[in-house]
């Protein structure tokens, strides 16, 4: 997965707290097929919101302490942070229907400050 990072819990918390923009954390694993489907959508979101949103990709298998800390039960799992605080948790495996629509609604709810630019970002690529 492009741009995957490794963190200990303290380093992760420091990274999230110091982020100047909202952060989506994508927990994934190499064996996870759905993870490979979710990542291009996150890349589209990230590219459509340069300097307004950050996506961290974390291999759950290589970051076991973080996986345990956030009590991951399935992959992929997306965590949405704003100003260092966890504002939403999203498990695409539990989404029924269109993932893009569910992700759009989650972004609208979690990061309303991104709405003007972001509202058309995913819809344009559907």
């509202």: which residue's tokens?
119
Give the Cα separation of 26 and 116 in Å (integer). Answer: 23
Active-site residue 32, yes or no?
A: yes
Active-site position among 32, 53, 55, 106? 32
CB 105 within 8 A of CB 122: no
- Of the candidates 24, 8, 10, 18, which has an alpha carbon nearest to the alpha carbon of residue 81? 24
Using CA atoms, how far residue 30 sits from 33, 59, 110, 119, in Å, is 8, 8, 27, 30
**Residues taking part in catalysis:** 32, 35
């Amino acid at each position: 997965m492009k741009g995957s990072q490794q963190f200990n819990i303290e380093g992760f918390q420091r990274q999230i707290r110091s982020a100047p923009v909202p952060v989506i954390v994508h927990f994934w694993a190499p064996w996870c097929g759905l993870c490979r489907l979710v990542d291009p959508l996150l890349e589209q979101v990230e590219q459509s919101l340069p300097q307004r949103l950050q996506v961290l990709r974390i291999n759950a298998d290589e970051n076991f302490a973080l996986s345990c800390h956030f009590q991951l039960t399935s992959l992929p799992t997306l965590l949405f942070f704003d100003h260092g605080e966890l504002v939403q948790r999203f498990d695409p495996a539990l989404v029924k229907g269109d993932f893009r629509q569910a992700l759009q609604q989650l972004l609208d709810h979690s990061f309303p400050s991104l709405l003007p630019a972001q509202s058309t970002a995913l819809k344009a690529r559907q």
